[in-house]
Chain A
């Protein structure tokens, strides 16, 4: 925890001028007229301020193979962490101050409020990594230009390409017919200038115009098939999309970043090598290997014995147990814990009679001892949350008090709501429309994570004390998804992963409650909240955005459609040789570009 807070505090004074135009850091900004070659001393220092290591391999860990390396299609955390080594967006969310964007492939950009247009100037002299086609033909290092940017947007907007989650940010929800479905238009101006015009204001327009959460893809790679021939001459065609979805480069990477992709041994490892021609501060590690270790016991032991540099330990007891290892005590291995954007909750299906009354939901929240759960199950390695926004971000209203654990209050609220134990069986009941209904519900939990069951049992025990009977039903992921989509559940314990900025529309807007398969699985509808969500979507004023966020936070808290539990800390073991390991509030929580090592790991050759 200390690590995380300290790292943020250090960067509070960082320049974060909230204007609409940013320019690159002096250190990496190419001087005008020349290609990317600033002063020598700057060019040779890594982000951590070191000289790059001659031969040092960083060995990272991942639990399961990523879905794909196609930067537009990949949407899971593993592939994103891997892609980040090689691929770059136009601008990246600044790790130390996620409210601003750090220029990457874009040198600067301007926003015209009147026309809602971003004019993006691209960095010159950036080269794509060289690539080899499956046929053996090589694609030489080509320069990155506005054609690649245009191509990336063209692909993202082809409905047949599996990039729906990205596309939904460009979609106009009020479109009256199919011809107006996208609210952006991307124009190629010249090789180093692109214009992104929005037909409507959108509060995350800047992020998505610069693809801050995604990456730019090379046109010369993704437009050709295995033999190097064009997939299709028409990027909006179905033929092109089919070639793109099953593209040979889905299992490789070709980016502009500090490391170059070397190979992916499926279910074993992904290997990166330093890019000698990187435009920015060079990478410290000459090689990065991500190893796939599905057995968490093995991965922990390997980290404790310095065989790998970094591993995450999801089970808190294993983490604490590992902290007593001699290598941790002697400093050969370091134990870290840090905040991670996401939260866990118990969500109540609002269509069920029992949960319709707000007082019942408050009563249940009062009956769940969140602090005890954090202490007992998570050994203090979790932080209590009160709303659906990223903990620690400006959107999160820290002044909202957590619901205290208070069984008396809970019982009182249930009484007020008319739920009383009339037949002496210890379970409350109430007649609704002439039908007697028992205060009992099914709590669906994910069966493959033992901590969920422990938490559910604590909830069951305490609810029983206030006369509410909870049945725990563990389910596999597939079954859980199916039941949630069909809204066939009473209550579910689950979690949401979060971005820095949230658009609450998908999960909380009432219009989503009535759609089949929606993320608003609990069927939550609140007209007042809808108004705030709609206003936020078109609000470009950053102060007003925060105000709206705080109002929404309080409104949702007041309704308690979920009992917000906590945000779990990530717990990791890192090799003691790693230095400059700082933690940030956005995924993945750390930035390997700035790490360096006191002693190199040289792999036997």
Chain B
């Protein structure tokens, strides 16, 4: 038996893998993604620079910028694209416009061909049709600028080494350097980190210090020497700050501290000249409070050579400190071919059961959302299942025993009607007749509790809950109830005509015992199979019934997640559902064996 179970468990892994691949692909094929839904809903689909930046940041956070299944970006050569992109980003719209005729001419130079092919690869709308039309040039120039920027953003960190190489080369003209810097600004968000995270770690020190060191080199001369008396005071204050054990208090003290700009050299020394981690931590925060942008990273189009050199040095510093990140080894790159993709990131989350956060604006942990929905759906579903088994099996028995008589015919007719009545139609009928006051108003129309039910003690609370859940439970059970009753009727009929039942009767056993003890026990075996639908149903909830009665359960959650394109929640739902389905199938197999001695796990050596 154990071999069987283990084999089944192992089979689950490829099945789950298949489930995730299929659902992932469907999700990708459906139009819209979480970001689009969010920005679109707010009416801010329009992209000013700001929304563009926010869009990009979120895209990277959600890993939506990664390729779907295979990340070849680590093997691509970005030299040419980055060079041409740098060229275009160093031009104003008017200058780009002036260059368009060169692209359109009949005998283009090699450079023009390269540029044209590059622009074509960006899939600018109406690019080819605009090329011969001089009226379109201004519009085209703006498009080129916008799409080149988008291309840099999409290239992201992969293009950084090439852009830096462009800056490092001595023969790069000034304008192209400016363009390269502007490319870098699109590719990297926040290259420098100037403060420690709230729980400082020693490992962060090199990054924090390197930025400030550069700043200090450039700005040291602008500060007057620190007065020794002042230094004494600062030293004392600093010591108390560093010694402060309560982080909340430290935070308030730092926010309220009154320092002067001239005090900054003191903190710069504390940070740069070595010292304990708490000292560096405090010093970096005080510096950041005063100097919001320590290092300049962007340049205007008309920047002077000195300015460009200054900013380029900052970028080189960033690159040098992140070498390992930008120049991964061949093995890392090969590994990333498969691991740095949207699918891989998603599977990692699922496999570790760390579902991450929902993409909704609250950014709630997915597991919390699932759990709160399960808590609502599960009791309803359990109640519905109990109701189904309690009613359906006896009904089936009655029908089987009274086969062909009036009771059987009547019950079968009613069951067939129920079977053909979808639960949401039943729900609507219930609402209209029993809840809206025309003609009756017996049950509440929605929700699981009355207003103010939280203040009730548990008996009235339970009564209130029961009153609210009658209709949803009935709706949930009707369909399966009919099915299960018919099923148990037919399986019992199979058994009733068997020899051993006749033997029992012949022995003179009372009819009731014949049915319940001999026939039913065997007749129920097929019904056990249906048990496998029990657990998944509990999790799945019912979209329509939950919508009709305003119940915040699993069905509503799946619906909302689909509508909002909340991929993390949706994937977690599918994944958990798949696991539960597979376990319940296994469970029903095991129950089969337990209930029917004729069935065994049969394999050679197993059993």
Check B451 against A230 for contact (C-beta < 8 Å). Answer: no
Q: Which of A463-498 contact B (CB under 8 A)?
A: 476-479, 481-487, 496-497
Minimum CB distance partner of A509 in chain B? B46
B44, B150, B548 pick with most chain A CB within 10 angstroms:
B44
Check A294 against B125 for contact (C-beta < 8 Å). Answer: no
Check A162 against B361 for contact (C-beta < 8 Å). Answer: yes
- Interface 9-residue window, one of B231-239, B298-306, B516-524: B298-306
Number of interface residues of B (CB under 8 A): 86
- Interface 9-residue window, one of B105-113, B211-219, B247-255, B322-330: B247-255
Check A230 against B41 for contact (C-beta < 8 Å). Answer: no
In the complex, which of the residues B47, B58, B248, B452 contacts A516, with contact meaning CB atoms closer than 8 Å? B47
Q: Which of B27-41 contact A (CB under 8 A)?
A: 30-32, 36-41
> Is B260 in the interface zone, CB < 8 Å from A?
no
In the complex, which of the residues B36, B147, B189, B247 contacts A485, with contact meaning CB atoms closer than 8 Å? B36
Query: How many angstroms between the C-alpha atoms of A267 and B551 in the bound complex?
Result: 8
B39, B43, B431, B436 pick with most chain A CB within 10 angstroms:
B43
Residues in A neighbouring B331, C-beta threshold 8 A: none
Minimum CB distance partner of A175 in chain B? B49
Residues in B neighbouring A232, C-beta threshold 8 A: 195, 197-198
Query: How many angstroms between the C-alpha atoms of A200 and B57 in the bound complex?
Result: 27
> Is B455 in the interface zone, CB < 8 Å from A?
yes
Check B300 against A292 for contact (C-beta < 8 Å). Answer: no
Query: How many angstroms between the C-alpha atoms of A55 and B125 in the bound complex?
Result: 62
Residues in A neighbouring B139, C-beta threshold 8 A: 510, 513-514, 525
A48 → chain B, closest Cβ, in Å?
23
A480 → chain B, closest Cβ, in Å?
8
> Is B146 in the interface zone, CB < 8 Å from A?
yes
Given A164-B51, A229-B247, A233-B195: A238 and B190 interface contact (C-beta under 8 Å):
yes
Given A229-B198, A230-B251, A497-B43: A236 and B292 interface contact (C-beta under 8 Å):
yes
> Is A421 in the interface zone, CB < 8 Å from B?
no
Given A231-B198, A234-B195: A519 and B248 interface contact (C-beta under 8 Å):
no
A234 → chain B, closest Cβ, in Å?
4
Query: How many angstroms between the C-alpha atoms of A223 and B259 in the bound complex?
Result: 22
Residues in B neighbouring A604, C-beta threshold 8 A: 450, 452
> Is A266 in the interface zone, CB < 8 Å from B?
yes
Residues in B neighbouring A483, C-beta threshold 8 A: 31
Residues in A neighbouring B50, C-beta threshold 8 A: 159, 164, 167-168, 170-171, 181
Minimum CB distance partner of B556 in chain A? A267
**Count the A-B residue pairs with Cβ separation under 8 angstroms: how many?**
229
Residues in A neighbouring B495, C-beta threshold 8 A: none
Residues in B neighbouring A67, C-beta threshold 8 A: 38, 41, 360-362
B300 → chain A, closest Cβ, in Å?
4
Q: Mark B337-363, 1 if CB is under 8 A from A, else 0.
A: 000000000000000000001001111
Give chain A's interface secondary structure class: loop
Check A301 against B445 for contact (C-beta < 8 Å). Answer: yes
B267 → chain A, closest Cβ, in Å?
14
Given A479-B31, A516-B47: A293 and B57 interface contact (C-beta under 8 Å):
no
Minimum CB distance partner of B194 in chain A? A234
Residues in A neighbouring B247, C-beta threshold 8 A: 229-230
B194 → chain A, closest Cβ, in Å?
8
> Interface on B for A, CB 8 Å cutoff?
30-32, 36-51, 53-55, 57-58, 125-126, 139-140, 142-143, 146-147, 150, 185, 189-190, 193-195, 197-198, 247-248, 251, 254-255, 285, 288, 292-293, 296-302, 357, 360-364, 372, 431, 435-437, 441, 445-448, 450-452, 455, 547-550, 552, 556, 560, 563, 565
Report 15 cross-chain contacts, Cβ distance below 8 Å, ordered by A residue.
A57-B451, A159-B189, A164-B53, A171-B49, A171-B50, A178-B298, A179-B298, A233-B195, A267-B556, A298-B445, A478-B30, A506-B48, A507-B46, A510-B139, A603-B451
Identify the 3 closest CB pairs spanning chains A and B, nearest first.
A478-B32, A519-B46, A267-B552
> Interface on A for B, CB 8 Å cutoff?
57, 59, 64-65, 67-70, 73-76, 147, 159-160, 162-165, 167-168, 170-171, 173, 175-179, 181, 223-224, 228-234, 236-239, 245-246, 250-251, 265-269, 289, 291-295, 297-298, 301-302, 305, 351, 476-479, 481-487, 496-497, 506-507, 510-520, 525, 603-605
